[in-house]
Every structure is written in C-alpha cells, then in structure tokens.
Structure 1
Amino acid sequence: MHPTTHTLCALLACLPLSIGTALAAVDASQAAQVGKNLTPVGAEQAGNADGTIPAWTGGLPTNAGKVVDGFRQDPFADEQPLFVITAQNLEQYKKRLTPGQLALFTRYPSTYRIPVYPSHRSIAWPAEYYDIARQNATRTALIEGGNGLKDYSSPLAFPIPQNGLEVLWNHITRYRGGSYERETTTFMTTPSGDYAWKTERDRLAYSEQLSDYNPAKSKNILYYFTSINVAPARDVGNVLLVHETLDQVKEPRMAWQYNSGQRRVRRAPQVAYDSPGPGNLRTNDQLDMFNGSPDRYEWKLLGKRELYIPYNSFRLADPRTPYTELVTPGHINQDKTRYELHRVWEVVATLKPGERHVYSKRHLFIDEDSWTIVEADHYDSRGALWRVSENHILPLYDAQTEISAGEMTYDLTSGRYIANGLFNQVKNAYRFGLKAKTSDFTPAALRNIGIR
C-alpha cells in the first residue's frame, strides 16, 4: 500500500476504484469534507507526516510578484536546491520517482538530473469556482461507461473522486483560467539536439462563456478550440478547429482542418486517439498529457503517492533564457527545471480487449492541488516502456490559475523528444478573458482565420 493510501480510503470509505457503469455523486456528508479536511478542490489540506510537504494555506497571493509583459516574477528565485538527484545517487531517492523518470536516468546517465527544491503548494483558484466545484461534488456523475458527464458545471467535475476515471475527468475539467488565447512554440528534436520547430496561436473558449451562448445548441460542448500555425513560413495559415464534447457517446469530438495551400476545409476525424502528432513523437490524445475520449481504456485508481514532480517552473519560463539554451540533446536543459515533493493521484489505464491504440498501457500521475497530469509513462504493444512525458506546471498567481511552462515527451527508443508549449520568448503569451462568439468556431470561419 502506498504511504498515503490509508488517507484516501478514510476519505472515500474505500469505495471501489475501478469503473464499469455510471456512478452517482458523493453524498452530503462526504462533500462536507471539501473546505475542511480537504482543500476547496479536494486535495488533502494537511501537510505530510515529516513536514516535507506543507499544508495548503490558500496558494500564492495575487500580488506574489511583478508581472512584466506577461512574465511572472519568480517568488522563489532565492531558493537553492535541497539536493540534486543523479544517476550516481539515484538509489536513495527511487521510491519517490516514477518508472519513467528512472528510465530517463538509465537512458541519459551522464546528463539527466532532477534538482529538488523546497515544496510550495502554490495553486489557487478564484473563490467562485471553489463554490462550483463543491456543488459538483453532490450532483455531477459519469454517464454510462464513464465517457462523459451529466449535471456538470465548469470547472472540476469530482472534488472527491471515487475511481480512476473520475480522476481523469478532473484533469480534463480542471480550471485553466477560463477562455484564453496563447502563442507557444514546439520543438521536435533529433538525438544530436538538432530540431524542427513551429509556433502556434491557440484560442480556447468554454461554451458558457461565449457572448451568444445558447444552452439548447451548445449544452454538450465543453469548449471550442482553434490552433493556427504562425511560423515557420511554409506552415503559416493552416488551422485546426475542435468542438470538445461532454457526452462523447452521444456526440464524439468534432474536428476540422483548413489547409492554406489548398484553401480547403475538411473534416478531421483523425485528430483523436493515437493518430500521430508533430514529428510523430506523441499521439494526438497526448496533448495536455491526455485529452479526448477515455473509452478505449480501463482506468484503475491505485491511490496516492508522494513524488518529486516538476513544479513552480518559473525558471523554465524565464525570458532571459533563449530556446537554444533550453533545447539540448536527449532532453531539455534540466538545470532550468525545478522539482518538488508533492502528493499525486496514481492512475493506470489498460487498453480494453478488442480496442486499438499504440499505447497498451498509460501510467498517469496527477497533482492533487491542480488536478494536472504532471508525469505520464506510455507503454508499447509489447508492454515495454516507450515514451515518458513530464509537464512543468507554472502557477500564474495574478490570474489564479496554472499553465504549462513546457510539456516534454521523451522517446526512449529513438532518443528524440518533443518540447511542447514553450513561451519564454513571447511577450504576453497567455491572454485570459477571451471575448468570442459561437460563429468564431465554425468550419466556415476557418478560411478567414487562415488567410495568409
């Protein structure tokens, strides 16, 4: 049993941790723990027994540092690592590392390292969303088979999850600062450190935040998403449009692509599951560590663990660091990373009999305070560990949300990797409070968006 599994069982009364059919929301007595023993989003409020994980006391205040051109001042800039894990001292720390992290030490014994800093529980959301999450605890439920939600209001479906699929839906429905626009760059590397790159401008709009929101037409839409290539020149103007649904049995994800060279809009049903992403280094359902329908897997909740995970990644987002200094052979420059000890939910997804996916198993580790997947191990059809993903989360204290300072997927076989979503060379990369309407996210709108 993992060190904190006893706490999990006490809170959930040791309910079954796998999912087959629909489950009801928790009762009022369980929900009453939210805001007491549990934080407003369902994390354990107390620190751990030896004091290496502090209690949650509200997260970083909105004035934790200066914000200049969208870059947040690091409130922990003066801290030094408590220790640095290397291949030489790995044995004494391995119980608090994932199989994927251990594999990276084996693959890159002379260069991969994990600098461990003091832990800070920095995540905070606006108070009104805490109230919504608390209400969801007693009303939101999984639909039959677990491939969607009913009676849900955004954000956070299950502050007190009862199984692995509910934990996954918490990642999907977590608070992301509301509707936003962002500009980020992705690097696809070779083993020598050479790379191709592309810059994208994304817009994500939650349906209920659109100016012309119509529940009768958009009730089943979780969010609308567009992504347009803005560099390099050969890809400029290509656009992807996604309508992400809540009940994915009733209405699967809908996607379209606009090719600026052909000036045509086409349906894109392949933008899902294991269709290849950029550089064939990740699958489409790996963006944001996992997205889309969970229907091809059985999801098992193993409990909670204390792990060294990427956290408070202000150094990785430092505008003084050029991309060429971050993107190094084998893996990103680990000297620019920060890891801390935090509690995570541990979920294993196993491919269902008769279903198809390039990953036979996915091993996910989800931060308890943000509900973000921070580590993910991906296994091939033979059951061998193939790819390792790390999500370097960054709290935006002024916006009371968190984002990724970089999402990395390392291919252990080829020695290549993809560094997704870097933005430390872009002023005001994330812009919240997006004003949009439904007509901005239709196939007809793609041509206008993609004009060079």
Structure 2
Amino acid sequence: MNMTKNLLQAGVLGLSLLATSVMAAVSADEAAKLGTTLTPMGAEKAGNADGSITAWAPLAKNAGAVDDKGFLANPYGNEQPKFTITAQNVDQYKDKLSPGQIAMLKRYPDTYKIPVYPTHRGSNVPADVFASIKKNATSTNLVAGGNGLENFESAVPFPIPKSGVEVIWNHITRYRGGSVTRLVTQATPQTNGSYSLVYFQDQFVFRDKIKGYDPANPGNVLFYFKQKVTAPARLAGTVLLVHETLDQVKEPRKAWVYNAGQRRVRQAPQVSYDGPGTAADGLRTSDNLDMYNGAPDRYDWKLEGKKEMYIASNSYKLDDPKLKYSDIIKAGHINQDLSRYELRRVWHVVATLKPGQRHIYAKRDFYIDEDTWQAAVIDQYDGRDQLWRVSEAHSQDYYNVQVPWYTLEAIYDLQSGRYLALGMKNEEKRAYDFGFTASISDFQPAALRQEGVR
C-alpha cells in the first residue's frame, strides 16, 4: 500500500514538473523590467561594457525620407565600415561569428567578406504592440509540450524567455506590421552566377487585422498568407494559400495551391517542414521561408544563451532602388560590398531532430537578434552532422511604420556552391504596403481560382 501511495505521489509530482516545464509566463516583477532595464520587446536596453554595442535608441518615424515607391532613405548612408572581416583575418573575429559565416569566408576567400559598421539599435514597434507584448509576458503559456500557445495576443509571447522554444515562438509571432502586401523577387543562381528571376506578389495578414476577427473567440489561426507567382510565364498564375495555426500539432497548417495550367485548387500538405519551397530549385524547404516558420514539434530546442555576434543589420544600402538585381546577384553569394554588418546581441538556440522524426536538417543553430526577435543567421546540418546550408538575413527597420523586417534572405548551400536569394524589390514599382484591409473571404480556397487568372 505504501509503495503504491509513493508511486502515485511520484507520478503526480512528475506530472506537476512536466506541467511546469511548459509554463512560460513570468511574474509581474519580472515583467516590470520591460520598458525599464529592458526594451519593451525584451532586449537589454544598455549597450555592452566597451561601447561596441550601443544602447537602444529607437528610430523616429521621420528618420529619413520615403520616396513615391515606398523605399526608405538610409539614415546611416554617410558611414564607412570600421573594418572588414575576410578569410585572411577571420581568426581574429571567430568568437563573434557562426560556424556557417566562417565556412562562407573560407569557401569564397576572394569575394565573401563581412564589412562591419557602427552599431545602431533603432528597431521600434507601435505603442499598442508594446502593450500586448507586456501583457503576454505575464499571461501567455506554452501548451502541447511547447507546440502551441494559450492566452496570446498579437506579437512576441515571451519577451523574457526561459527556454529555446520560447525564443523560437518569439521569432514566429514577431510583429510584421499586422498586414502587408509586397512585390518581391527570388533568384537561384547557378555556380557561374547566371540566374533567372521568379516574381511573387505576397499578402500577409495576422488574425487581429482581418475583417471579422473576434478577440473573444480568436480561434487557432495565427495569420493568413497568400502568394501569387506573377513571372516567369511558365509559373505565372500559381497561387499558394496558407492558414497558419498556433498549434500545428493539434490542427496542422492548412494550405492550398492553385495550378494555373490545370485550373485546379488542391490541398497542399507538402507545404510544411522540409517540403520543397515554391520555385526554389531544391534550395529551400517550406520551413526556410522567413528564415524559419511552422510547427516546432520535430525538434528539441536548447537555449544556449546570449552572445555578441556580427549580423547583417540596417541593410538600406542593399535595398536601394537605384540598384539593379544584377548588382546584387553574383556567383557564389550576393554582392557583399552592398551588405552592412553590426555587432549585436543574439540568442543562440540549437534545434536537434527528435528520435523518430524526419527532416533533411538534423540540426539547426539559430542566432536571433535580441532587438527584433528576427532570426539573423541559421546554420543547418545534414544527417551526417556536416554543415550544409547557411541562412543569412539582411534586415532593416521600416521606421516610417515602425516595422522591423528583412530586406533579403539568402540560403547558401556549401556543398553545391549554389544559393537562393529572396525578397529583393529594388527594380519593382512599389515596395511594401503596410496596413491594407482584407477579409477572411479573401483567404479562402474559393478565392484562389480568381487570383490565378493570368
């Protein structure tokens, strides 16, 4: 009898510990740091000891001019690099680089470089988003073993994270303007630098910005995403629709594809995990879009902590509308003369494939910017534990609308010598349009056939 009682008590204690391990809300005292010693997003407000990382100083909405296409002036356009990291001097800086960045320097010793500029931590979001983040800090919890959220509002559920999966959720749910439509291009160059462009028209709407959203009954949808291929002609008219769910284990992502050639709408369960990315020539998985997206259930997530690292930031030069795409796309990698790196603090999270689960990436090392919760670098390893692909995001702050986001995402395949670059809009007639109005009916499968008309 006593043994049975002890076993029952041990089981209750184990369940209690398990429940505690997936709880994530912090105390009111901890949350009070947000906006004081921490930025409202959870980053350290102060700079580092030697001043090489400056204190947070958010950019004003009028920090620069905005042209008639929506492109932003570079508020740091007069600055020059402090120094440049190359294959010849990389050992001096290797403690502030990822293994993938070091591998790129060594694979392309004559052309790949990391120009390091002064640090400017200007990322900002609107006051109502800050308020939601602070509320999330004391109310949002992990559910389903970390694969979903409860009591979550609009952005960044865990501004004071305690685990790796919480940091990943911050990246997945970070603020991207509520709603946006954009025209962007994708290139998958051959090893000699030759390439063709794929043109996308994207619409992206978080649930609280869609007509008909009921805060009292938010449901399980996190955001709606629609992507139409507008060129080349052989792909034009193909449309992808995604309903992204908060708990993709309980309710998997819903995806549909309209094929213009067949004039049919089909469900697309392959648009998840390591399913092939749209028109990516095998260089991107579905969960490589936005650096990383989707359900976290196939990996164990270990939080290694924070570190100082050189990451691509304030990439206004790379987004200059005076540039041609041929100025950017080069053999092996993008034109690094157009890049800008700064010393920042990042969260380091290691994702290891769970036993019995399948994915082409057996391990992924994430380096996530503390100021924006955007993944800046991801090193991806194959099943032999060999470094395979390096994802690198070049980011900027859309200061006029207070939205931090990517300028360009690059995925470098170290084994094939090819890469994918996504997000360029330099030659387009319009940059991002934030705040457009959409209805749930716009994001239903029945609407895809009309969208796909060439």
- Separation in structure 1 between the aligned mates of residue 240 and residue 20 of structure 2, nearest angstrom: 33
What is the one-letter code of the residue matched to 1:91? D
- Contact in 1 for aligned 2:345/2:369 (Cα 8 Å): yes
Give the match for residue 333 of structure 2: 331
More deviation, 47-56/29-38: 29-38
Q: Deviations over 1:48-101 (max 9, x none)?
A: 0000001113x1111110000211000100000000111111111111111000
| Preserved CA contact (<8 Å) 2:247 2:295 | no
How far apart are the structure 1 equivalents of 2:449 and 2:175? 31
Deviation of 1:249 after TM superposition, in Å, equals 2.3
> What is the alpha-carbon distance in structure 1 between the residues aligned to residue 348 and residue 229 of structure 2?
35
Deviation at 1:20, TM superposition (A): 9.5
Q: Which residue of 1 aligns with 2:288?
A: 286
- The answer on whether the counterparts of 1:19 and 1:165 sit within 8 Å (CA) in structure 2 is no
1:434 to 433, 436, 439: 436
- Matching of residues 8-407 of structure 1 within 5 Å: 21-57=21-57, 59-68=58-67, 69-214=69-214, 219-277=219-277, 278-407=280-409
**How far apart are the structure 2 equivalents of 1:218 and 1:133?**
17
CA contact (8 A) 2:24 2:158 kept: no
CA distance change for structure 1 residues 195 and 121 in 2, over 3 Å: closer, same or farther? same
Aligned partners of 2:89 and 2:282: how far apart in 1?
Answer: 34
- The aligned counterpart of 1:451 is 453
Q: CA deviation at 1:321?
A: 1.0
Q: Deviations over 1:269-325 (max 9, x none)?
A: 000001122110011101011000010000000000100100000010011110011
| Cα distance in 2, alignment partners of residues 404 and 210 from structure 1 | 23
| Partner deviation per Cα, 1:194-250 (whole Å, 9 max, x = no partner) | 113200000011122112224587521100110000111111110000000012222
Bigger Cα displacement from structure 2, 209-218 vs 364-373: 209-218
Indicate if the aligned counterparts of 1:238 and 1:258 stay in contact, CA closer than 8 A.
yes
What is the identity, as a one-letter code, of the residue corresponding to 1:343?
Answer: R
CA contact (8 A) 1:183 1:429 kept: yes
Percent identity between matched residues is 55
Q: What is the CA distance between 1:134 and its match in structure 2?
A: 0.4
DSSP 3-state at the match of 2:225: strand
Task: Measure, in 2, the Cα distance between the counterparts of 1:132 and 1:207.
Answer: 14
- Pick closer, same or farther for the CA change 1:218–1:254 going to 2, 3 Å: farther
Q: 1:395 corresponds to which letter in structure 2?
A: D
State the 1:342 CA deviation.
0.3
User: Separation in 2 of the partners of 1:141 and 1:20?
Assistant: 10
Counterpart of 1:266 in structure 2: which amino acid?
R
Q: Is the CA contact (8 Å cut-off) linking 1:119 and 1:342 kept in structure 2?
A: yes
Change (3 A) 1:128 1:25: same
Separation in structure 1 between the aligned mates of residue 419 and residue 427 of structure 2, nearest angstrom: 20
The change in CA–CA distance for 1:367 and 1:24 in structure 2 (over 3 A counts) is closer
Give the residue type in structure 1 aligned to 2:27: D
State the shift of 1:259 in Å.
Answer: 0.2
AA partner of residue 415 (structure 2): T
Counterpart of 1:66 in structure 2: which amino acid? Answer: A
Cα distance between partner residues in 2 of 1:121 and 1:325: 27
SS in 1 for 2:388: strand
**How far apart are the structure 1 equivalents of 2:264 and 2:75?**
48
> Which residue in 1 is equivalent to 2:13?
none
Q: Distance in 1 between matches of 2:321 and 2:144?
A: 47
SS in 1 for 2:349: strand
Kindly indicate whether the alpha-carbon contact (under 8 Å) linking 1:71 and 1:427 is maintained by their aligned counterparts in 2. no
Structure 1 Cα separation of the partners of residues 351 and 323 of structure 2: 37
Displacement of 1:146 in angstroms is 0.6
CA distance in 2, matches of 1:105, 1:355: 33
Q: Which has the larger radius of gyration?
A: 2
Tell whether the 8 Å contact from 1:19 to 1:146 is kept in structure 2 after alignment: no
Task: Report if the CA contact (8 A) 1:213-1:437 is conserved.
Answer: no
- Between the aligned partners of 2:156 and 2:162, the Cα distance in structure 1 is 14
Quote the Cα distance in structure 1 between the aligned partners of 2:52 and 2:59.
Answer: 18
My pick for the range that moved more, 197-206 or 343-352, is 197-206
